[in-house]
Amino acid sequence: MSIYLYEYGNKNTDVCFERDGDCFIVKSQMYSSAGIWRCGIYSTRNYDNALERLESEITIARGGCPARKCAFAGKSDRCDCRAGNCPAELGGLAFWQIFHRSCLYRCK
C-alpha cells in the first residue's frame, strides 16, 4: 500500500512522492503541448536519492535548470552532482550522502 508523502502541482505539471514498503517513488507528468504528456516514474530504496530526484522534478516544473554540476575536476570535466559521480577524492558516496547540498564544488 502506497503512502503519499508529498504532492506538487501547477497548471502544467503534477509531481507525487510516495512510499511503498521500503521503496520511495517519484511520479511526474508534464503537459508539453496539445494532448502530449511527458510521464516518468523513479523508484529507489535510498531516501536521499529519492529526495534529490523530487527536487529535480519540482525545479523542472517551475521552469528551472534541474541538475547542478560538480566542478571538482575543473571546467572541462564537469558532471552531474549525484551519488554515483561524487569523486573518491572527496569521499565518494559517503561524502555525497552527508554533504551534497552544501558542497563547495557544486555549481550550475
Q: Can you list the pairs that 95-100 forms with residues at least 24 positions away whose Cβ atoms lie under 8 Å? A: 97/48, 100/48, 100/52
Please state the φ and ψ torsions of residue 40, each to the nearest 5 degrees.
-150, 145
Average pLDDT along the chain? 85
Give the number of other CB atoms < 10 A from CB of residue 51. Answer: 16
Q: What is the pTM of this model?
A: 0.67
Q: How confident is the model at residue 108 (pLDDT cuts 50, 70, 90)?
A: low
Please state the φ and ψ torsions of residue 66, each to the nearest 5 degrees.
-75, -35
SS3 sequence, 15-80? EEEEEECCEEEEEEEEEEECCEEEEEEEEECCHHHHHHHHHHHHHHHCCCCCCCEECCCCHHHCEE
Check whether 90 has a pLDDT greater than 80. yes
pLDDT in tens, 33-60: 777 888 999 999 988 888 888 888 888 8
Check whether 66 has a pLDDT greater than 70. no
pLDDT in tens, 15-30: 999 999 999 999 999 8
pLDDT at 82: 78
pLDDT at 67: 67
- The Cα–Cα gap between 31 and 53 comes to 19
